[in-house]
Structure formats: C-alpha cells, structure tokens
Amino acid sequence: MLATLLTLIALSLLSLISASPTPIQKRYTGVKIQSYRDGYCLLPYGPHQYNGVQVKTTQCQYAPRWDINPGSGSVILSGTNFALDAGTGTENGEIVKIWESYPGLFQQTWYLTDDYRIAITGGNQCLDEGDNYGTQTWQCTPYNNNQVWNILEGDDLGATPIPLPEPVDPIPTPTYTIVDATTTAA
C-alpha cells in the first residue's frame, strides 16, 4: 500500500516536470531575407515561377516574401509551393534555385542559425551570396559576410548592413622598421 502511494506521488511529480513549457520557435511568415553583405534581398530571378528558377538578390523593395523557421525546415516562397533548393547541397558553388517543395528533402531542409546563417541541415553548406547577385552554397565559414542574412518582418524594406568585425589573425604578422639601412624585426 505504501509502495503504491509512493509510486503515485512519484508519477505525479514526473508529470509536472514533463509538463513544463518548452520554448516556442517562431516561424517567420511573409518576411524578406536580406544579405548582410550588400543589403539586397532574395528573389527568384525570372518573370515566372517554375522548377529550376535561379535565386538571386535584388533591392528589397522588389523582392518577394518567404516563410522560414528558426530551426530546421523548408524555406518557402510565400503563397507558393516552391522551396529554396540547393541542388545536391554538398558542394561549394551549387546554384540555389526554387523547386517544388518536398518537405524533408536534404537539399530543401535549411537551418536558420543563431549567427544569422541559413545552412543545410545535417551538412556543412551555407546559403552564400556569390558574385553578380547570385546565390550559391558554400562551406559555412566564420566571418564570411556572404553567408549572413537578416530576416525583415513587416514593412521593413531593409536596414543598412553593418560590417562584421574583422577576424583576429591567430598568428601575428611581424612588423619591420628600417634603421640606418638595416632591417630589424620589431
């Protein structure tokens, strides 16, 4: 009898612990995704939406809106069934495009990181703003402004990007001074 009572008390306490609230992750719906590098926003490049249309960047007032999770999930062009797609999602320089959404498909499953990168879930590739306003995948690299993205909500058409701090060189470069036509290390 006492053992049964103690078991019931333990189960009651356990249910209270497991019923504690968990953090809610906000899904961003109808937002613009802005490059930190130059302040431009993601845009499927072309007059029509269909599988394979390359995603580039443009001035934010011309960019469409996207739906994105802070955690893992698809990045969807708002109001459509097209997702951001990274090709194989495993190589540097893969062209990023829109493609019909297949939830859970490796190359369409992205993760919005705490340091404002959009990375392939389970991989090492990040969404990267390449040359000529094109997007591509590239190995996630610290201090790479091409891989940092702002999420713009509401009518915010884009803040001015703020430069990231310069990376610290782990090996100091010696400086030299010329004294009386001889070179000495400082």
Distance CA 79, CA 31 (A): 12
* The predicted structure's pLDDT at residue 157: 60
Place of tokens 């845009």: 43
Distance CA 66, CA 51 (A): 16
Three-state secondary-structure class, residue 11: helix
Residue 148 in domain: yes
CB 97 within 8 A of CB 142: no
* The predicted structure's pLDDT at residue 23: 38
Please give the model's pTM, rounded to 2 decimal places.
0.71
Residue 171 in domain: no
* The predicted structure's pLDDT at residue 165: 42
* The predicted structure's pLDDT at residue 185: 54
* The predicted structure's pLDDT at residue 139: 96
CATH assignment at residue 66: 2.80.10.50
Distance CA 64, CA 78 (A): 8
* The predicted structure's pLDDT at residue 5: 44
Residue 77 in domain: yes
**Total number of domains constituting the chain:** 1
The CA-atom distances, in angstroms, between 15 and each of 2, 9, 83 are 20, 10, 39
> Range of 103's domain?
28-152
Strand partners, 139: 125
Residue ranges of the chain whose pLDDT lies below 70: 1-26, 156-186
